[in-house]
């Protein structure tokens, strides 16, 4: 059930005065007629949004709606006007908590939480697995304001700062925002098959955003994942080939940060807890390294080691080649990994190229570490700090997320 009444209560505490007539505003904009019709399909939505304050709505134009692929649940819903949950999820993904005028958007991405929480689920899929609302990024691209969403989607704002009363700001966009794919589907589409194969072999027991009768695993939410590149597994191929399931599980758990949605501008000299039961802390160092953004997940050039032991931060040398920074003693490379299967093998969608904006968008430069710091995190999921730091191979962050954590939704 779509919970717009609950959302309204949450957003409008202390302010129940109507902010404006949303249907009338949409009706006054000829290029928003599809949005007006779609909003009308969800009972009470227009009234709910008009009654709350301090929100930002990004409004897809008619052309943007026409371009939504019709083989997706939201595309079918828009075409047939028959699935109010899918339509509600799509619209909730376009409503940000807070005011984000165009002048506040900078070259450094701002990750804004939307109304798309984990209550949006139909018979096919969950549309979100963020308990407090999914996130999208707002960033400048030259003179343009852009919004980054799932599946490497970039939407450009075509008209900014349309005001509806005092508490609602509306921006028109040229592309409908996308839901993110579950972790393993994203890995397959992005070509990170080694991590996908490792997850299949390890059988951690997590659904990673998948639901349904055939999924006999625990679905998880509000996580950050550090994904080793394929080459990272190849560097330590001899270790991977000889590892039993328990060892592989421990290594992969060390790449999962629970209850902590960490975004790329927050990466720096910080200590956070991983899911690995024997090694509860790990260090994320960004320093002055050049960074690249790819939606959904963080990528690293080395497989992280959960082995115990202290290290001196001052001795870390991220400028070395990844193959020279192996944490697994005695490891040797292999040309072919032992993983026999990957999830979603045969899926026809692939990210053949990464948009230029996602390759070059700036991240915050951080100072050298002098003490344990805390990563800034989602307001609903405060970060966890650790007192002791275990041995971690210093791996350069080579690709950073737009919506960090497991984005548990299907397209």
> Token digits for 104?
């506040």
Other CB atoms closer than 10 Å to residue 185's CB: what's the count?
22
309 pLDDT band, cuts 50/70/90, is: low
At 389 the pLDDT is 21
Q: Against a cut of 0.95, is the pTM above it?
A: no
218 pLDDT band, cuts 50/70/90, is: low
Residues 126 and 239 in one domain: no
Residues 288 and 393 in one domain: yes
Burial of 74: CB neighbours in 10 Å, binned 0-12, 13-18, 19+: buried
Residues 149 and 193 in one domain: no
Residues 191 and 229 in one domain: yes
Residues 200 and 146 in one domain: no
Residues 157 and 200 in one domain: no
The larger pLDDT score, comparing residue 278 to residue 309, is at 309
Residues 137 and 114 in one domain: yes
340 phi, psi to nearest 5 deg? -95, -15
Residues 82 and 207 in one domain: no
> Any idea of the CA torsion for 353, 356, 359, 361, to the nearest 10 degrees?
-150
Residues 202 and 349 in one domain: yes
Residues 158 and 196 in one domain: no
Query: Which of 173, 190, 225 delimits the end of a domain?
Result: 173
Residues 383 and 325 in one domain: yes
Q: Determine the structural domain holding residue 12 and report its residue range.
A: 4-173
Residues 194 and 136 in one domain: no
The larger pLDDT score, comparing residue 15 to residue 6, is at 6
Read off the pLDDT of residues 327-358 as tens digits, 9 standing for 90 and up.
Answer: 677 788 888 888 888 888 888 888 877 888 88
Query: Which of 126, 155, 173 delimits the end of a domain?
Result: 173
The pLDDT of residue 155 is above 90: yes
The pLDDT of residue 171 is above 60: yes
At 126 the pLDDT is 78
The pLDDT of residue 391 is above 70: no
> Any idea of the CA torsion for 211, 214, 218, 223, to the nearest 10 degrees?
-40
Q: Which of 30-34, 42-46, 366-370 has the highest mean pLDDT?
A: 30-34
Residue 252's region, left for phi above 0, alpha for psi from -120 to 50, else beta, is alpha
Q: Provide, rounded to the nearest whole percent, the portion of the chain with pLDDT above 70.
A: 68
Query: Which of 141, 173, 205 delimits the end of a domain?
Result: 173
Nearest to 354 by CA among 303, 287, 402, 313: 402
Read off the pLDDT of residues 368-386 as tens digits, 9 standing for 90 and up.
Answer: 433 333 333 333 333 333 2
The larger pLDDT score, comparing residue 210 to residue 30, is at 30
Total domains in the chain come to 2
Read off the pLDDT of residues 226-263 as tens digits, 9 standing for 90 and up.
Answer: 888 898 898 888 888 888 898 888 889 888 888 888 88
The CATH number given to whatever domain includes residue 363 is: 2.30.180.10
Nearest to 12 by CA among 36, 37, 47: 47
Strand 168-173 vs strand 153-164: parallel, antiparallel, or unpaired?
Answer: antiparallel
């Amino acid at each position: 059930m779509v919970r717009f009444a609950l959302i309204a209560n949450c957003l409008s505490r202390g302010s129940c005065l109507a902010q404006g007539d949303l249907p009338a505003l949409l009706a006054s904009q000829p290029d928003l007629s599809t949005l007006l019709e779609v909003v009308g399909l969800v009972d009470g939505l227009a009234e709910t949004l008009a009654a709350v304050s301090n929100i930002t709505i990004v409004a897809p134009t008619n052309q943007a709606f026409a371009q939504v692929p019709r083989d997706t649940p939201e595309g079918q819903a828009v075409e047939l006007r028959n699935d109010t949950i899918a339509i509600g999820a799509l619209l909730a993904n376009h409503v940000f908590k807070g005011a984000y005028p165009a002048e506040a958007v900078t070259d450094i991405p701002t990750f804004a939480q939307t109304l798309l929480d984990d209550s949006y689920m139909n018979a096919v899929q969950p549309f979100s697995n963020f308990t407090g609302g999914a996130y999208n990024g707002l960033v400048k691209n030259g003179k343009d304001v852009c919004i980054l969403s799932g599946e490497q989607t970039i939407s450009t704002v075509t008209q900014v700062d349309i005001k509806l009363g005092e508490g609602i700001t509306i921006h028109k966009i040229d592309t409908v925002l996308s839901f993110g794919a579950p972790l393993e589907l994203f890995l397959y589409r992005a070509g990170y098959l080694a991590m996908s194969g490792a997850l299949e072999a390890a059988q951690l027991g997590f659904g990673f955003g998948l639901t349904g009768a055939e999924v006999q695993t625990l679905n998880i939410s509000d996580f950050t994942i550090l994904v080793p590149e394929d080459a990272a597994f190849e560097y330590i191929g001899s270790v991977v080939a000889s590892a039993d399931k328990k060892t592989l599980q421990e290594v992969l758990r060390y790449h999962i940060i629970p209850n902590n949605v960490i975004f790329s501008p927050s990466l720096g000299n910080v200590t956070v807890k991983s899911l690995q039961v024997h090694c509860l802390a790990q260090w994320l160092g960004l320093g002055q390294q050049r960074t690249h953004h790819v939606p959904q997940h963080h990528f690293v050039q080395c497989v992280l080691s959960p082995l115990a032991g202290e290290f001196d931060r001052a001795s870390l040398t991220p400028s070395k080649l990844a193959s020279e920074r192996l944490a697994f003693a005695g490891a040797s490379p292999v040309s072919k990994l032992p993983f026999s299967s990957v999830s979603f093998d045969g899926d026809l969608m692939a990210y053949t190229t990464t948009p230029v904006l996602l390759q070059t968008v700036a991240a915050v430069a951080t100072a050298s570490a002098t003490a344990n710091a805390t990563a800034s995190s989602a307001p609903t999921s405060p970060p966890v700090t650790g007192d002791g730091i275990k041995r971690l191979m210093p791996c350069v962050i080579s690709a950073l997320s737009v919506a960090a954590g497991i984005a548990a939704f299907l397209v």
